[in-house]
Chains A and B, each alone.
Chain A
Amino acid sequence: MTAPAAAPVEAQTGAPLLSVRDLTMTFPGKRTRSGRKSPGIKAVDGVSFDLGAGETLGLVGESGCGKSTTGRMIVRLLEPTSGSVSFDGADITHLKPSAMRPHRKHLQMVFQDPHSSLNPRQTVARIIADPLLVQGKSVAQARARAAELMELVGLIPEHIDRYPHEFSGGQAQRIGIARSLATDPRLVVADEPVSALDVSVQAQVVNLMERLRRELGLAYVFIAHDLSVVKRVCDRVAVMYLGRIVEIGDKHEVYDNPAHPYTKALLSAVPLPDPAAERARERITLLGDPPSPASPPPGCTFHPRCPRAQDVCRTERPLLRIGMPGERREVACHFPY
């Protein structure tokens, strides 16, 4: 059932920083009353991509498409059912925590809800410095670095002994970002980092993340449902549907000329803050809801909602392949463009 790992086009500079191959996550089914086990849920089904140093990849899709699960497997918060994650040339998929530690330094995560991802009983100093202590720095060194990081993310270093509840949502997210940067990571996986923030604060955090990337040469896997934010932050974008990547490519290729009908529908569903443009726009409204990953439709999983579905779509699963000659974009559709 799993597709062969279609080798994505190599990033421009030699070996990629992150290389994900055929990543699959099946959550075990629950035991039913009759004592039988219900079949598991395939949340992520054969996801492969490469990410070069300093590059940003947006993972977009609707709830349940597996984007967060993919992010969590990359940073080893979840153990994949199969497939591999290579970071900087080393296979980290099954490393023990002690063996993972040297890599962990370079591989960090930012979470969606800033307040629930910060320990309310720890001061900011402790929150930011903890990763450094784990990595063997002295308390004084770690505290000095924490103050430095606060300044870097636009917080006032004098507030270092305050607790998370004393900060607003935007400031708390800055603390989360500072924590992720403490160990000089090369890759940050950010899972919906701005979606819990007020509209007027989102732009501040987006700008901060862009500046940090420029200054520190970070690579991001940026997980978001907001396509406008992803377009702003990312170089490349991968669109996921029901656990699979249906389209991946340079953001201009994907946004300016989407190849997969799902990408098209997704883009046309985003309301534009411009009433004249909204009236002039032709929208593709999809029917129905995304199907449950517990019982994915056969063939192309998008076919029940697809305006272009033909017989072959109902039986044969399309594989990711290069969209048009000369493009880096790959698309999994029998009838793209």
Chain B
Amino acid sequence: MLLQVSDLSVEFTTDRGVVRAVDGIGFGVEAGRTLGIVGESGSGKSVTSLAVMGLHRSARVEGSIKLDGRELTGLPEKELSTLRGRRMAMIFQDPLSSLHPYYTVGEQIAEHHRVHFRSSRSVARRRAIDMLGEVGVPEPARRAGEYPHQFSGGMRQRAMIAMALACEPDLLIADEPTTALDVTVQAQILELIARLQQDRGLGVVMITHDLGVVARVAHEVLVMYGGRAAEQASVDALFTASAHPYTRGLLDSLPRLDDPDDAPLRAIAGSPPSLLAPAAGCAFAPRCAARDAEAVGPELRERCDTVRPAFVPLSERSEGSLDHRAACHLTAPLAQEAVR
């Protein structure tokens, strides 16, 4: 396993109290595979990715993050920074805010190479131009001398990808990389990431709120809600046999292009939870239609409200690198029983 995260929690101290933004998350990513992490704002998906990169300065990070078997939590900043960019790299939603406006795009890509490989200016510059060409920037030698504001949104994201991959990392974390882009440009960038992944055997973590993007690129999926894991599965199992009412609800509530039915969308009631007041039981319980169903007895319903469901496997058989798991009292009552 390239990346193995277990029991990860991230806490921030704010004026209004301690916020547990990520609460006991675990997942794995293998080389050459893409893990999609899906969630809404406040689900903890971005906080998780920043924790993996060791980019939380003021937060308390607990749990284990292993890259190729090496423990990253607790590692001194100096050692982390030799891994960051070299072994693992990250791209963000807004490339303009991640690129320095005063340096040319070529200089910024070359800098990574010079820092990690102690290469000469000319070698690093050639490397930067090669990378820009590889990610599909036309006339890379000329564009390398331009500044970020001279690039279009799609080209900037390509430049970010070139920068992230300049030192040939093994793991790429992409945090909503196409959310700010137009849909035709999004298609180009997703294809680019898939091609680079195939060429280099990259492990990719694709963080997104868009289930369409997940269906297109992910092999495995982790669904997060309120800082916790709701469900994980292979991409096919998640879309055809989702076990968590939140996942089901999300899929049902999406308007779909290929959906001939014009009946009202089955919306999920309410809004995502506040992390300042975490639920005692299941974080999704206040919005859960399955919990409110008549067949659910008062006893079980109370358990939804008061006991936090464990994140348990749904079957013995495991598919892909992640087995199908869900944190729900209703869909996995027997499994929950066994855990107790």
Contact = CB atoms under 8 A, between A and B. Distances in A.
Contact of B271 (A170, A207, A265): A170
Interface in A251-301: 255, 265-278, 283, 285-287, 289-290
Interface in A205-225: 206-207, 210-211, 225
A274 B265 contact: no
A289 B215 contact: no
Instruction: Report the contact-size class of chain A (Cβ under 8 Å from the partner).
Output: 35 or more
A39 to B, nearest CB: 19
A262 to B, nearest CB: 9
Interface stretch (A100-108, A182-190, A227-235, A316-324): A227-235
Instruction: Report the contact-size class of chain B (Cβ under 8 Å from the partner).
Output: 35 or more
Contacts of A8: none
B50 interface: no
Q: Which of B154, B209, B218, B254 has the most CB of A within 10 A?
A: B254
Given A225-B182, A278-B215, A206 B265 contact: yes
Interface string B164-195: 00000000000000000011111110110000
B24 interface: no
Contacts of A286: 184, 187-188
Given A199-B250, A274-B215, A265 B239 contact: no
B267 interface: yes
Nearest to A229: B255
A168 interface: yes
Contacts of A269: 183-184, 186-187
A203 B271 contact: no
A168 B271 contact: yes
Interface string B208-246: 011111111010000000000000000110011000001
Given A203-B267, A266-B184, A198 B41 contact: yes
A271 B265 contact: no
B245 to A, nearest CB: 12
Given A198-B41, A275-B239, A203 B258 contact: no
A274 B255 contact: no
A250 interface: no
Nearest to B187: A269
Contacts of A169: 271
B253 A274 contact: no
B184 A271 contact: no
Given A273-B215, A275-B239, A289-B154, A62 B253 contact: no
Question: Could you tell me the dominant secondary structure of chain A's interface residues?
Answer: helix
Interface string A63-87: 1000000000000000000000000
A199 B184 contact: no
Contacts of A32: none
B152 A207 contact: no
B251 A273 contact: yes
A249 B320 CA distance: 45
A277 B235 CA distance: 12
A200 interface: yes
B266 to A, nearest CB: 7
A204 interface: yes
B254 A207 contact: no
B208 to A, nearest CB: 10
Contact of A285 (B152, B188, B212, B216): B188
Q: Which of B41, B188, B266, B271 has the most CB of A within 10 A?
A: B271
22 contacts: A62-B182, A199-B209, A200-B267, A200-B268, A201-B272, A211-B264, A225-B183, A232-B262, A232-B265, A266-B184, A267-B257, A268-B187, A269-B184, A269-B186, A271-B186, A271-B187, A272-B216, A273-B212, A273-B214, A273-B215, A274-B258, A277-B215
Interface of B: 40-41, 152-155, 182-188, 190-191, 209-216, 218, 235-236, 239-240, 246, 249-251, 253-258, 262, 264-269, 271-272, 287
The 4 A-B residue pairs with the shortest CB-CB distance, nearest first, are: A271-B212, A203-B267, A203-B253, A62-B182
